[in-house]
Amino acid sequence: MALLVTPDRQYTAPAGADAVAITPAGTAWANSAYVQLLAATPVACVLTGVTVYTAHGSSDATAYDFEVDIATGVAAAEVVIATVRGFNRLIFTSGQSGHSQYIGLRIPIDNIAAGARLSTRLRKNDTNTSNLWKVAVTFFQKPLTTTTLLTAVAQKTLPPAAASVTVTAGSPAWAGGAWVQLRAASGAALVITGLVAGNPSSSEEMELDLGTGGAGSEVIITTLRLFSSTQGFPSHLMLPNPLDNIAASTRVAARLRSATASTTVQVSLMVLDKPL
C-alpha cells in the first residue's frame, strides 16, 4: 500500500496548551517518569509525529543521544507504541536559546484505541536534570478518508537505549571508512524509517552508506547525503521512502566518507519490525 496524501485534519496533544514537561532521570539511559499527554482520546487515533524541545545545552557545549517513548494505558501500566530518537548538540553562541525537533513518522502508528490515555517519557545518555524537556504529539482521528500505509507495530531504535555508534570517514577525502555494526545477525526483518546522525567532528559534506552482511562482506542497501554543522547539526532524517530491504537475522552496519578525511559522526536508526 503506497504512502498517499490525505485531506484529514491533524490534531495535537496537548491541544492549545504548553507541551508537557519531563524531568529527566539523573542516570544515563534511565527512564524518566511518565507524563500524561492526553487523558482520553475522543476516538481511535493514529500517531503521526512527536515534537521535542529542550534548553539543555543553550548555555554550554553539550552533545548527547536521547529517546522519547509514546505510550497508551493507565498510569503504571503504560505500553509503548512508538520510540523516536535524536541527537542533541549545542554550542553556546549569542542568541541561541534552545533546541527543538519535530520527528514526523513516515509510517504512522495505528495503535491508539478510543478513550486511550496518552503519555510520554524520556531517557538520554547524560545525567543533567536541571533542564526540563517539553514533548507534544500529533495524530489523526479515525476513520481516515484516504487510505495510507499504517502500522500497529511499535517503532524502535538501533541501538536501543544506548549511545549511537561512531563512524569514521576514510582517508583521503571521499574514501570510505570502516564499517561499524548497528545490529548483529539476529532479530526480525526490518523497515528503516529514519536515521540519526549527530556530533560531527567538523562542518563537512558527507555520504553515509547503510549495508547488510557479515563483517568484510557488507552490501550497500542505501546511501544518504548529509551536510554537517558543528554549531548544531539537525540530527534526525526521516526517510521520504522507508527502506524495506533488511531480512530477518541479518547484520546491519554503516560507514562514512567525507570531504575531509577522518571526519566522524555518530549514527543510529529508527526502525519497524516486520510484518507491519
Condensed to tens digits (0 to 9), the pLDDT of residues 193-240 reads 999 998 888 888 999 999 999 999 999 999 999 887 766 545 889 998
pLDDT for the residue numbered 97: 47
The CATH architecture one would assign to domain 10-141 is Sandwich (2.60)
Question: CA 52 to CA 50: how far, in whole Å?
Answer: 7
State the pLDDT at residue 135: 98
Taking the model in full, what pTM does it have? 0.93
> What is the chain's pLDDT, residue by residue, as a tens digit (276 residues)?
455 678 889 999 999 999 999 999 999 999 999 999 999 999 999 999 999 998 776 666 677 899 999 999 999 999 999 999 998 876 555 444 456 789 999 999 999 999 999 999 999 999 989 888 999 999 999 999 887 889 999 999 999 999 999 999 999 999 999 999 999 999 999 999 999 998 888 888 999 999 999 999 999 999 999 887 766 545 889 998 999 999 999 999 999 999 999 999 999 999 999 999
User: CA torsion sign, 237 to 239 to 242 to 245?
Assistant: negative
pLDDT digits (tens, 9 = 90+) for 76-98: 999 999 999 998 876 555 444 45
Cβ neighbours, 10 Å, residue 20: 21
CATH 2.60.120 residue ranges in the chain? 10-141, 156-273
| Portion of the chain with pLDDT greater than 90, in percent | 76
Q: Answer positive or negative: Cα dihedral of 239, 30, 255, 245.
A: negative
178 grid coordinates: 570502516
Fold of 156-273: Jelly Rolls (2.60.120)
| Cβ-contact 5, 133 below 8 angstroms | no
DSSP code of 45?
Answer: E
**Strand duo 180-183 + 35-38: pairing:** unpaired
Q: Measured between alpha carbons, how far is residue 163 from residues 123, 252, 266 in Å?
A: 11, 16, 8
Amino acid letter, residue 197: A
The partner residues of 122 in beta bridges, in order of sequence, read 68
